[in-house]
Amino acid sequence: MSDDTFSAMRQSIIDGAPDTASALARQAVAAGIAPLEAINHGFVPGMHAVGEQFGQGKMFLPDMMASAEAMRAAMAVLDPELKKLGTERPMAGVVILGTTQGDIHEIGKMLVGTLLSAHGFRVHDLGVDVTGEQFAAKARELNADIVGVSALLTTTMRNQRGVVEALEKAGLRSQVQVMVGGAPVTRKWAEEIGADGYAKDAMSAVALARSLMEQKTRSAVAEPV
Ligand code: B12
């Protein structure tokens, strides 16, 4: 796929143009382009540009909302394509996913969920603005292996710690691995709050989830109940 197409994808997000974004995504699928390539090289750079311009006061909340709509339109086309990659795989583990309390950013988390599903994980997405107690209750109900917590705001990042604490309080911490992510989140932060892992993007989240499952299996063998 040409650089022109990737820059048109990027621009469709900056312009907040869902119809164009959707049409470009369909073109990519028709041309046999890997959906993740279209996302990572075309549409996501558009979101980054929007974030930068918003940070510099050159774009405002309605613009950012329009851009999010355009991103959703592209994802509505690419998501089913990504999911197709995962059919016929053995179940890799059960993951509860959500964006932390006070935070309504969902695009990155949805991408993480899609790729985990595509790689055989059974994902239950709790949505946005999710409390630690809600994470813990669902983890118990579904006997989850991993809880994945997204946060996009420096103010809501601290609620990731609340999720770790809620799992501890519910007596589930030893059974459930916690992974955290989101633009302001770092490996250091993950360590500080006692999470088991951090990943910077959706592909790394898949690798992380696999390695957390391996650790879980190893410790289950080492400590039989
Ligand atoms: C789109 C957007 C919105 C949309 C969200 C729409 C939606 N349905 O999601 C809307 C318009 C609603 C919005 C609102 C706000 N936003 Co906003 N938003 C963004 C923007 C431009 C893009 C986010 C995005 O979708 N990125 C694309 C995805 C693919 O990337 P990602 O989210 O980082 O996810 C990847 C990784 O982080 C990782 N990952 C994500 N989650 C997880 C979870 C796990 C477990 C793992 C392992 C990995 C992982 O993998 C993902 C895929 O690769 C960012 C800018 C930015 N650069 O992040 C600002 C940004 C996050 N927003 C910001 C702000 C300030 C706000 C508002 C407070 C604005 C306001 N004045 O009201 C509100 C907050 C509302 C709230 N309570 O949550 C700031 C945050 C500043 C800060 N440091 O705290 C940013 C950075 C913009 C800026 N430069 O100032 N926003």
For residue range 175-223, what is the model confidence (pLDDT) as tens digits? 999 999 999 999 999 999 999 999 999 989 999 999 999 988 887 776 5
The terminus-to-terminus CA distance of the chain in angstroms comes to 53
Q: Atom 48 in ligand 1: which residue has the minimum CA distance?
A: 181
Confidence of residue 1 (pLDDT cuts 50, 70, 90): low
Number of helices and strands in the chain (H, E): 10, 5
Distance CA 172, CA 27 (A): 46
Percent of the chain with pLDDT over 90: 83
Distance CA 212, CA 147 (A): 11
The ligand 1 atom nearest the CA atom of 152: 61
CA angle 52, 12, 74 (to 5 degrees): 105
Indicate the top mutation candidate among 14, 64, 111 to test ligand 1's pocket, ranked by most ligand atoms within 8 A of CB.
Answer: 64
Distance CA 209, CA 213 (A): 6
CATH topology of domain 3-84: 1.10.1240
Superfamily name with CATH number, domain 93-222: Cobalamin-binding domain (3.40.50.280)
Residue 148 pairs in a beta bridge with: 97, 179
pLDDT digits (tens, 9 = 90+) for 6-37: 999 999 999 999 999 999 999 999 999 999 89
Side chain identity, residue 211: S
> Is residue 47 within 6 Å of ligand 1 at its C-beta?
yes
Using DSSP's 3-state secondary structure scheme, residue 61 falls into: helix
> Is residue 145 within 6 Å of ligand 1 at its C-beta?
no
Burial per residue of 167-201, b for 16 or more beta-carbon CB atoms within 10 angstroms, e otherwise: beebebbeebbbbbbbbebeeebbeebebbbbbee
Indicate the top mutation candidate among 75, 152, 155 to test ligand 1's pocket, ranked by most ligand atoms within 8 A of CB.
Answer: 152
Q: Atom 34 in ligand 1: which residue has the minimum CA distance?
A: 108
Determine the pLDDT at residue 216.
Answer: 83
> Is residue 68 within 6 Å of ligand 1 at its C-beta?
yes
Domain with CATH 3.40.50.280 in the chain: 93-222
pLDDT digits (tens, 9 = 90+) for 57-78: 999 999 999 999 999 999 999 9
